């Protein structure tokens, strides 16, 4: 079949057959995607067994709750960032901390505090470096944004995230910090280790077919929001990690690379109330003012909440 015949067939089956109210948007998307799929079957001579393997794959990936991970790994989520950047540019919006992917491991409902939070439960304190993250939330002119909501989440020393890893305590390494009167937030936590896809999982299965690894560099995720500003979804990725620029999820971006500085000065250690050297990262955040002409940065997706 040629494309015209395909489009006619798809329309006959899924448009002309409507006998009840139609969601026009869904219809448009379904018709387009089916046409593109049928065209790919033509072009690549995709065999029936291959079509069924594909559908079985989605069944398995869905049952394993790995479709979010797959979207990250295949670059769909990063593509959406690039597409949003382009839409912003077209709308004349620029500046602020760059966006990058949310990933599949956010959990709503983390404990909230003002200015400071300790994020770890202490269970790994003796096997991993302490990390202090601090920064200021400002607008693009440098004015501080008191009360900005800084949601932070990251992995433990094994690259695992609480909630998804049931061996961790509730909300371990997940906090919501409201910027103080100077716009500052400080997080006392442990150094994250980069995530790796479950080796026997459905995402790694496809990555193996593509000859790809499923590793991320060490990183820390953020949602930052404040009334009158565009919600920011971002992360910093930590300098020195072998996967910094070889991230299977393509989240590392210029402006989002953080350097963890070793601090061993006794006075500084004591001043922080700590008892051993620590690592320090500064990550300042600039939010962009909201405007009616600005594309929304709120993404509606299913998220865990505890
Ligand atoms: C992660 O920690 C992550 O950030 C992404 C994007 C995918 C898998 C695990
Ligand atoms: Fe992550």
Q: How confident is the model over 85-136, as pLDDT tens digits?
A: 999 999 999 999 999 999 999 999 999 999 999 999 999 999 999 999 999 9
**137 and 277 fall within a common domain:** yes
**195 and 236 fall within a common domain:** yes
Q: How far apart are CA 125 and CA 165, in angstroms?
A: 18
- Nearest listed ligand to the Cα of residue 68: 1
In a domain, 57, yes or no: no
**7 and 110 fall within a common domain:** no
In a domain, 150, yes or no: yes
**108 and 250 fall within a common domain:** yes
214 SS3 class: coil
Ligand 2 ion: nearby residues, β-carbon < 5 Å: 103
**32 and 172 fall within a common domain:** no
**136 and 41 fall within a common domain:** no
Q: Which atom of ligand 1 is nearest to the CA of 197?
A: 8
Is the Cβ atom of 152 under 6 angstroms away from ligand 1?
A: no
Q: State pTM to two decimals.
A: 0.97
Is the Cβ atom of 197 under 6 angstroms away from ligand 1?
A: no
What is the pLDDT of the chain when averaged over all its residues?
Answer: 98
In a domain, 182, yes or no: yes
Contact 204, 60 (CB under 8 A): no
Is the Cβ atom of 104 under 6 angstroms away from ligand 1?
A: yes
**12 and 152 fall within a common domain:** no
Confidence at residue 209, expressed as pLDDT on a 0 to 100 scale: 98
**128 and 267 fall within a common domain:** yes
Give residue 20's pLDDT band: very low, low, confident or very high (50, 70, 90). very high
36: domain range? 1-46
Distance from the alpha carbon of residue 249 to the mean position of ligand 1, in angstroms = 7
Domain count, the chain: 2
In a domain, 241, yes or no: yes
In a domain, 223, yes or no: yes
**79 and 176 fall within a common domain:** yes
pLDDT digits (tens, 9 = 90+) for 161-172: 999 999 999 999
How many other CB atoms are there within 10 angstroms of residue 122's CB atom?
10
């Amino acid at each position: 079949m040629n494309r015209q015949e395909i489009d006619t067939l798809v329309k006959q089956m899924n448009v002309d057959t409507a006998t009840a109210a139609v969601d026009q948007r869904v219809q448009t998307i379904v018709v387009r995607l089916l046409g593109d799929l049928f065209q790919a079957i033509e072009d690549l001579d995709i065999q029936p067994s291959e079509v069924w393997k594909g559908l079985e794959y989605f069944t398995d990936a869905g049952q394993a709750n790995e479709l979010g991970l797959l979207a990250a790994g295949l670059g769909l989520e990063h593509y959406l960032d690039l597409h949003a950047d382009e839409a912003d540019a077209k709308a004349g919006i620029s500046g602020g901390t760059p966006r990058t992917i949310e990933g599949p491991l956010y959990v709503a409902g983390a404990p909230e505090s003002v200015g400071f939070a300790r994020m770890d439960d202490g269970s790994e304190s003796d096997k991993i470096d302490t990390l202090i993250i601090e920064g200021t939330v400002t607008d693009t002119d440098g004015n501080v944004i008191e009360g900005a909501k800084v949601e932070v989440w990251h992995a433990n020393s094994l690259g695992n995230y609480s909630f998804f890893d049931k061996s961790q305590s509730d909300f371990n390494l997940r906090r919501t910090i409201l910027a103080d009167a100077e716009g500052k937030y400080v997080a006392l936590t442990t150094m994250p280790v980069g995530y790796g896809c479950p080796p026997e999982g459905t995402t790694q299965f496809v990555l193996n077919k593509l000859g790809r690894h499923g590793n991320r560099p060490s990183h820390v995720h953020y949602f930052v929001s404040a009334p009158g500003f565009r919600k920011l979804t971002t992360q910093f990725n930590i300098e020195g990690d072998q996967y910094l620029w070889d991230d299977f999820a393509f989240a590392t971006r210029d402006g989002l690379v953080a350097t963890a500085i070793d601090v061993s000065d006794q006075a500084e250690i004591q001043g922080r109330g700590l008892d051993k050297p620590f690592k320090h990262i500064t990550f300042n955040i600039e939010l962009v003012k909201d405007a009616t002409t600005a594309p929304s940065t709120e993404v509606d997706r299913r998220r865990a909440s505890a």
